Amino acid sequence: HITTVITTTQHHHRLPDHLTAHTLDTLNLTHQPTTSPPDTTTGLDAACLMFTSGSTGRPKAILTPHHAITGTLHHQTYTPLGPTHTTLQCSPTSWDAFSLEFWGALLHGATTVLHPGQRPEPDTIHHLTHTHPITTLQTSSTLFNYLVDHHPTTFHHLHTAFTGGEPASPAHVARILRRYPDLRVVNGYGPAESMGFTTVHTVTSPEEASGSALPIGRPIVNKQAYVLDTALRPVPPGVTGELYLTGTGLAHGYHNQPALTATRFVPNPYGPPGTRLYRTGDLAHWTTHGHLNYDGRTDTQIKIRGFRIEPTDIEHTLLKHPDITQAALTPTTSPTGEPCLAAYLTTPPATDLDTREVRSWLRDRLPHYMVPAAFTVLERLPFTPNGKLDVRALPAPRFAVGEQGRAPGTDRERLLCELFGEVLNTGRPVTLDDDFFDLGGHSLLAARLTHRANHTLGTHLTIRDVFQAPTVADLTTRIDAMRAGPDGGPTGRRARPALRRRTSAGALLPQS
């Protein structure tokens, strides 16, 4: 149970009375000792809970010990970090990637610059990399590709760019290395159960990215990887097997879920007694050069924009809707050619299901990346002769463009409708009442939309604006409200200041 919270005076009033609160902005350290307090924690003590998608309809809480964090970050050799380096924290705090950007930087005396909000804004990332010359940037592969395509100068000051969470694009890696030949691109792999990056592969020239896929590399210090068959025997190089991980990065397991922990964390037949392997569910093979290549999944998990998703999580949630009797989720491709989710639903007899209402209902219950881009209502789901879902018999998903919406009436509305159509590749005119996300939009496409709108209309829209005002009509109203503000632009969107770790003497290093 939480008893003490570190906060600021601005947020102190939001805490319940039974908690002891220390406010950082009023803390006086003048008469405090400059030596470290006695350390009574051990490496096995729990440090934090990280949440990942589970098959029960609820996120799984991963219980991570201290030595998993220090073993991954303190002795790492895959990127230089020190007083002359600056990282950008642009991963959500609930994602294991946050640990490298924040703790990794501060553990090595580097500076970390905080990205405002919980969603990475490509325009903001581009701005911050120049405002605080960022040397180390970590992004999902989809976001990395977007920055290469639309903000290539984001990489101007970088020494190292990390990409991971999903298969890297060799074409985008080669493209940015041709522009910035001194850049190091690190393709990383590792689930939260192994505290993030567990294997890495560094690319330093466009020629290394000339193949059809980039390796995920070799294990980092303190971690090991095994590619095993169904009998837990190592497979030869070139043969695909299931990837198992071990080492100091391993979590204790899933909080309060011993049965699930036992199925994923198994005894390690190749290590000292008592050590364990984490069964990733990922397929991989070793190359003859000793590198790992990722070959997909063994189960139903899929990756959307770097997030690991269990379709059953979304299906379980959809079945809680009063007008839905069956639900099936499949990966598909949006009209823009990007991976996304399609939902197929059935309803009780004589029920007219409003898919826009379903989307809105889901947004209140799931993270944005788990909300399907397309909803299709069927009389019944198709099944194979043995009673399983017949995925091949499912119709093409419907990315609906409303035909009853209002037509644009002003030049700004017409331009926004055109931008919606271009970004989403609708192939049909967009109306004032069409919802950006009903048409297959997601956060990175929202970034593309705001970038084009800001350039064309001179606005200051962000991804958050699109999420809160997803139709052309709503977005137009939002732009009018911005321009009517006291400074003619949005407020409250300044980046949080850069942080430095404390020195051994307890003084704060200067902010950048």
What are 404-463's pLDDT values in tens digits?
678 888 999 999 999 999 998 887 788 888 888 878 788 888 999 999 999 988 888 999
Per the CB < 8 A criterion, the answer to whether 225 and 199 are in contact is yes
Strands 86-89 and 111-114 turn out to be parallel
Alpha carbon distance 20, 149 (integer Å): 48
Per-residue confidence (pLDDT) for residue 401, from 0 to 100: 57
Render 6-54 in DSSP notation, one character per residue: EE-TTTGGGS-TTSEEEEGGG---TTS-SSPPP----TTSEEEEEEE--
Which is the CATH superfamily of the domain at 42-235+245-264?
ANL, N-terminal domain (3.40.50.12780)
Where are the domain boundaries for CATH 3.30.300.30 in the chain?
A: 310-393
Per-residue confidence (pLDDT) for residue 404, from 0 to 100: 63
Alpha carbon distance 302, 279 (integer Å): 16
Q: Percent of the chain at pLDDT above 70?
A: 89
Helix ranges restricted to H, 265-410:
311-318, 355-363
Mean pLDDT, rounded, for 337-355: 87
CA 14 to each of CA 7, 8, 18, 383, 492: distance values in angstroms, whole numbers, following the listed order: 10, 10, 12, 51, 20
**Average model confidence (pLDDT) across the chain:** 84
Residue 419, beta-bridge partner list: none
Per-residue confidence (pLDDT) for residue 187, from 0 to 100: 95
Per-residue confidence (pLDDT) for residue 507, from 0 to 100: 36
Q: Percent of the chain at pLDDT above 90?
A: 42
Domain 310-393 part of CATH 3.30.300.30: yes
241-297 pLDDT, tens digit per residue, is: 999 999 999 999 999 999 999 999 999 999 999 999 999 999 999 999 999 999 888
Mean pLDDT, rounded, for 297-306: 73
3-state SS, residue 153: helix
Strands 136-140 and 160-164 turn out to be parallel
Mean pLDDT, rounded, for 97-118: 89
Q: Name the band, by pLDDT with cuts 50, 70 and 90, for residue 130.
A: very high
Where are the domain boundaries for CATH 3.40.50.12780 in the chain?
A: 42-235+245-264
Contacts of 215 (CB under 8 A, 6+ apart): 187, 201, 287, 291, 292, 293
Where are the domain boundaries for CATH 1.10.1200.10 in the chain?
A: 411-483
173-201 pLDDT, tens digit per residue, is: 999 999 999 999 999 999 999 998 899 99
Render 66-90 in DSSP notation, one character per residue: HHHHHHHHTT--SS--STT-EEEE-
Per-residue confidence (pLDDT) for residue 512, from 0 to 100: 31
Q: Name the band, by pLDDT with cuts 50, 70 and 90, for residue 490.
A: very low
Contacts of 357 (CB under 8 A, 6+ apart): none
Element (H, E) at 341: strand 339-346
Per-residue confidence (pLDDT) for residue 57, from 0 to 100: 46
Per-residue confidence (pLDDT) for residue 510, from 0 to 100: 35
pTM for this one? 0.71
> Which among 329, 323, 275, 320 is positioned nearest to 301, based on CA atoms?
329
Strand runs labelled E in 195-291? 199-203, 218-219, 223-228, 241-247, 253-254, 265-267, 276-286
Q: Name the band, by pLDDT with cuts 50, 70 and 90, for residue 500.
A: very low
> Lowest-confidence range among 36-45, 321-330, 499-508?
499-508
Domain 411-483 part of CATH 1.10.286.10: no
Q: Name the band, by pLDDT with cuts 50, 70 and 90, for residue 505.
A: very low
3-state SS, residue 64: strand
Per-residue confidence (pLDDT) for residue 231, from 0 to 100: 94
Alpha carbon distance 391, 383 (integer Å): 8
Q: Kindly calculate the radius of gyration of the chain based on its CA atoms and give it in whole angstroms.
A: 24
Per the CB < 8 A criterion, the answer to whether 214 and 204 are in contact is no
Per-residue confidence (pLDDT) for residue 363, from 0 to 100: 84
Per the CB < 8 A criterion, the answer to whether 470 and 440 are in contact is no
Per-residue confidence (pLDDT) for residue 403, from 0 to 100: 54
2 has a pLDDT exceeding 80: no
Q: Name the band, by pLDDT with cuts 50, 70 and 90, for residue 475.
A: very high
Alpha carbon distance 226, 491 (integer Å): 51
Per-residue confidence (pLDDT) for residue 503, from 0 to 100: 39
Q: Which two tokens stand for residue 281?
A: 């569910």
Per the CB < 8 A criterion, the answer to whether 47 and 68 are in contact is yes
Instruction: Name the residue with higher pLDDT: 86 or 493.
Output: 86
Q: Which two tokens stand for residue 383?
A: 């099944």
